[in-house]
């Protein structure tokens, strides 16, 4: 019963002692599995986009929270949506930085992140529209709605880039 020929590569040639392996310096963006954090994600476009989303959501929440408003249901919905989106974006940001997605392979992380952005963006758009309609020209409420719209646009850009990358990856792998 033949199992086929196997090639075993070694660093030793038949002509003499082995030369030391070449020293390679891994860049911080590529990283190895031994590193705890992915330093390149901080400077990547996706990482900076997540930070911009978190900052705009936080400013929108603080603007609405520190304003005097009369319509409790509209602005409490806006506050809940902004905080939930902020927490979820922070969760995915930490997952990318610490490379948790490599260890937990039972979850489709690109799909989970895409669904988060899809649902979160729709709810954030609804909350921002309602907040803008009921702002009554109070500057804090207008600012909160404006940053809500900004965060919505950033989430759409992030969702589009995530979908674009997954489609390109699937189409070129065939």
pLDDT by residue for the chain (174 residues), tens only, comes to: 555 555 555 544 444 455 555 544 444 444 455 577 888 888 899 999 999 999 999 999 999 999 887 778 889 999 999 999 999 999 999 999 998 888 888 989 888 999 999 999 999 999 999 999 998 888 999 999 999 999 999 999 998 887 776 566 555 555
Report the pLDDT value the prediction gives residue 12, as an integer from 0 to 100: 47
Question: Which residues in 43-79 are b (16+ Cβ under 10 Å) and which e?
Answer: eeebbebbeebbebbebbbbbbeebebeeeebbebbb
Q: For the chain, what are the domain ranges?
A: 50-172
Of 34, 16, 32, the closest CA to residue 24 belongs to 32
Question: Residue 91 has what pLDDT?
Answer: 96
Model's pTM, two decimal places? 0.73
What pLDDT was estimated at residue 142? Answer: 94
* Radius of gyration of the chain, Cα coordinates, nearest whole angstrom: 24
Q: What is the greatest pairwise CA distance in the chain?
A: 86
Query: How many angstroms separate the CA atoms of 56 and 50, rounded?
Result: 10
Are 137 and 161 in contact by the 8 Å Cβ rule? The answer is: no
What is the pLDDT at residue 167? 60
What's the confidence (pLDDT) of residue 48?
A: 95
- Determine the pLDDT at residue 104: 87
SS3 for 75?
helix
Host H or E run for residue 128: helix 109-133
Whether the CB-CB separation of 58 and 111 falls below 8 Å is answered with no
How far is it, in rounded angstroms, from Cα 89 to Cα 84?
Answer: 9
């Amino acid at each position: 019963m033949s199992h086929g020929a196997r090639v075993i590569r070694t660093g030793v040639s038949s002509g003499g002692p082995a030369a030391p392996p070449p020293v390679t310096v891994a860049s911080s963006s590529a990283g190895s599995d031994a590193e705890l954090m992915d330093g390149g994600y901080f400077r990547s476009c996706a990482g900076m986009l997540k930070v911009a989303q978190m900052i705009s959501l936080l400013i929108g929440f603080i603007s609405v929270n520190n304003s005097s408003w009369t319509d409790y249901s509209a602005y409490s919905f806006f506050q809940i949506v902004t905080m939930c989106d902020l927490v979820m974006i922070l969760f995915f940001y930490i997952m990318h930085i610490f490379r948790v997605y490599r260890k937990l392979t039972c979850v489709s992380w690109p799909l989970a992140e895409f669904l988060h952005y899809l649902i979160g963006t729709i709810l954030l758009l609804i909350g921002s529209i309602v907040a803008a309609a009921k702002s009554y020209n109070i500057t804090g409420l207008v600012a909160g709605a404006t940053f809500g719209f900004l965060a919505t646009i950033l989430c759409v850009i992030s969702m589009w880039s995530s979908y674009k990358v997954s489609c390109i990856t699937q189409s070129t792998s065939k």
